[in-house]
Structure 1
């Protein structure tokens, strides 16, 4: 008797998803709780585990189909009946069963001929580095490939490619390309990318967006990191990054200017006595925004550990939807990609977002009139002008600038 595999509950307000890829094909054996498919929701990719051990009998839906929570996507059969003794094939032309031969006992499986089951994270790395997964020895459970296995294989291939060959190699002749040939490729948008596009456009259509700018001298923050980074890492097991300073500075500013941490709900304004900071993180399928809950109550080490964990799991595709729900203020760091200046778009229903940018040496006129090269960063605060006045936005950004240029303010709460 076959067992139906249904779309699991995906979280509050998530009622449907798109089938991203099949991790198991019909005829393959599956273990209980082993992932057989990957679903794309509005926020994250979710793996669907098999409810029983057995053999995958059929796919009920196709890749790209939109399916609702509770819908049947596949059927799992009993492994005992999955591999009949090929009675039909064993019969001779007269219709009589042929005598049992050595083939009646299935030969030992060749590991290299078995279909590989790759997790979404491993599959992305395989595609990214262009390695052959069948030639990689898996060190994971049951011989499955891990990310480290793929990365090691890719590194080995690059090292081998750099070694000079002792044989004379004839230069390859490039295939002729038709003059003026122009190509196009159509790729279906992922559900996550569709959601990002819709939400950003809705934000532009709904909110009265405005951005205010300032720059910050990062000398004090950089000096603090240089002085304490080794002690910090030794004690807490995590590097002291820039984001901890920015989250702390933002919490200080939002407490002084609560409207920047508020939201509009109908004809009412909702103020929060806590700060849940959404941190924009780059993931393989697009931008995701997990939330640091009660950031205003956290230490530098707790903030840095939380952000590092978010970044790792965003790449692995293992962030949960609960971790990306809510948030009262967003920080986006475009500086890691080299951005000098930008106007970030708010993350509805939030009313403001802080954009960080790259640090670069620029000439600055010092208080004594001298000119010195200083590590400067542009900050951008985009906000919903329906709720936040210009004076409040500028005040909040100046508070952040002051705290970053004099981190002692974070310690003594100024």
Structure 2
């Protein structure tokens, strides 16, 4: 529904996007700080190509989810959330930490012909295999993803009158202990399918991971030589109310090292070229080509 004015036109926010509006209103209380790093994806790309030869297809975001689950299990202080009700003159701030890692994966999906953002939950990342994670990702990326039972709440929010929808959204997040089953414990988003080198967003969790495209960039090897390598910029946004800068930097460093020295835990053969991956330093450079996700 739209209408013209003397100065242009305006458009009423579609019901299908109201859950995004409610989320942004709620997340406004966060105190986001942004970090980023460059990750040499050579080892992951080689693993991906070897898997394809065996008839398996893994998306890049699946590798990120796999690494995030392991890294957050080693940094439990970042797998947490600020409990609702603070700041308050009468209530002390309280942080709730979670034992398991659940990703809230942002998806760009069509709903009734309109592109909207849906948030899909991928649970138990600290122990899920690469194949198990990929099966979840494939389920959510199907053409009929918006009709899945998991998104029943989103569809309901779009049907409710605006005040009731806002109240229902807030009620679903009121109990911080139930947050993983509603909102996840870490947010993950990727815009690497386009010409996006890097970006930052605050996903409502203590940590949000943002992946840009993979592009050929110059990297400096341990012996001082420079060569082109597939590099992905990874952004990490943390809620400073929950996590301090040093802890967030340690988590991002762990993620960087885990992805560059990727190991799926299967005990399979690692090509000789992989042995160089863990101690590479990245040089500055402009991406030459994007890569499909």
The answer to whether the aligner puts 1:254 opposite 2:75 as a matched pair is: no
TM alignment of 1:83-94, pairs within 5 A: none
TM alignment of 1:157-172, pairs within 5 A: none
Of 197, 202, 211, the residue aligned with 1:356 is 211
Per-residue deviation, residues 123-180 of structure 1 (Å, max 9, x unmatched): xxxxxxxxxxxxxxxxxxxxxxxxxxxxxxxxxxxxxxxxxxxxxxxxxxxxxxxxxx
Alignment partner, residue 106 of structure 1:
none
Shift of 1:411: 5.8
**Rounded Cα–Cα distance in structure 2 between residues aligned with 1:245 and 1:202:** 30
**Rounded Cα–Cα distance in structure 1 between residues aligned with 2:243 and 2:187:** 15
**Rounded Cα–Cα distance in structure 2 between residues aligned with 1:410 and 1:344:** 31
Shift of 1:393: 0.7
Does the C-alpha gap of structure 1 residues 393 and 411 become closer, same or farther in structure 2, counting only changes over 3 Å? Answer: farther
Per-residue deviation, residues 299-341 of structure 1 (Å, max 9, x unmatched): 1111101101101156554353368823111110111233111
Alignment partner, residue 228 of structure 1:
51
Shift of 1:274: 0.5
Of 24, 45, 54, the residue aligned with 1:200 is 24
Alignment partner, residue 157 of structure 2:
none
The answer to whether the aligner puts 1:264 opposite 2:82 as a matched pair is: yes
Of 198, 218, 234, the residue aligned with 1:341 is 198
Whether the 8 Å contact between 1:262 and 1:269 is mirrored in structure 2 is: yes
Of 337, 341, 365, the residue aligned with 2:220 is 365
Give the number of equivalent residue pairs. Answer: 225
TM alignment of 1:75-224, pairs within 5 A: 184-203=8-27, 205-224=28-47
**Rounded Cα–Cα distance in structure 2 between residues aligned with 1:201 and 1:369:** 49
**Rounded Cα–Cα distance in structure 1 between residues aligned with 2:207 and 2:262:** 23
Does the C-alpha gap of structure 1 residues 351 and 192 become closer, same or farther in structure 2, counting only changes over 3 Å? Answer: farther
**Rounded Cα–Cα distance in structure 1 between residues aligned with 2:149 and 2:143:** 6
Q: Secondary structure at the match of 2:203?
A: coil
Per-residue deviation, residues 174-221 of structure 1 (Å, max 9, x unmatched): xxxxxxxx9955433122423313422432x31111011111000000
Per-residue deviation, residues 265-317 of structure 1 (Å, max 9, x unmatched): 14221111111111111022411111012222321111101101101156554
Q: Which runs of 5 or more residues in structure 1 are unaligned?
A: 1-62, 64-181, 234-238
Per-residue deviation, residues 344-374 of structure 1 (Å, max 9, x unmatched): 1222xx2111000001111111111111011
Q: Secondary structure at the match of 2:11?
A: coil
Alignment partner, residue 330 of structure 1:
187
Per-residue deviation, residues 17-51 of structure 1 (Å, max 9, x unmatched): xxxxxxxxxxxxxxxxxxxxxxxxxxxxxxxxxxx
The answer to whether the aligner puts 1:381 opposite 2:258 as a matched pair is: no
Q: Secondary structure at the match of 1:309?
A: helix
Does the C-alpha gap of structure 1 residues 183 and 229 become closer, same or farther in structure 2, counting only changes over 3 Å? Answer: farther
- The two structures have a TM-score, normalised by structure 1, of 0.50
Does the C-alpha gap of structure 1 residues 281 and 376 become closer, same or farther in structure 2, counting only changes over 3 Å? Answer: same
Alignment partner, residue 278 of structure 1:
104
CA RMSD of aligned residues (A): 2.5
Whether the 8 Å contact between 1:275 and 1:328 is mirrored in structure 2 is: yes
Whether the 8 Å contact between 2:69 and 2:127 is mirrored in structure 1 is: no
Q: Secondary structure at the match of 1:367?
A: coil
The answer to whether the aligner puts 1:290 opposite 2:120 as a matched pair is: yes
- The two structures have a TM-score, normalised by structure 2, of 0.70
Whether the 8 Å contact between 2:71 and 2:254 is mirrored in structure 1 is: yes
Q: Return the index of the structure with the highest Cα Rg.
A: 1
**Rounded Cα–Cα distance in structure 2 between residues aligned with 1:319 and 1:288:** 13
Whether the 8 Å contact between 2:186 and 2:208 is mirrored in structure 1 is: yes
Whether the 8 Å contact between 2:43 and 2:260 is mirrored in structure 1 is: yes
Whether the 8 Å contact between 1:212 and 1:382 is mirrored in structure 2 is: yes
Does the C-alpha gap of structure 1 residues 259 and 313 become closer, same or farther in structure 2, counting only changes over 3 Å? Answer: farther
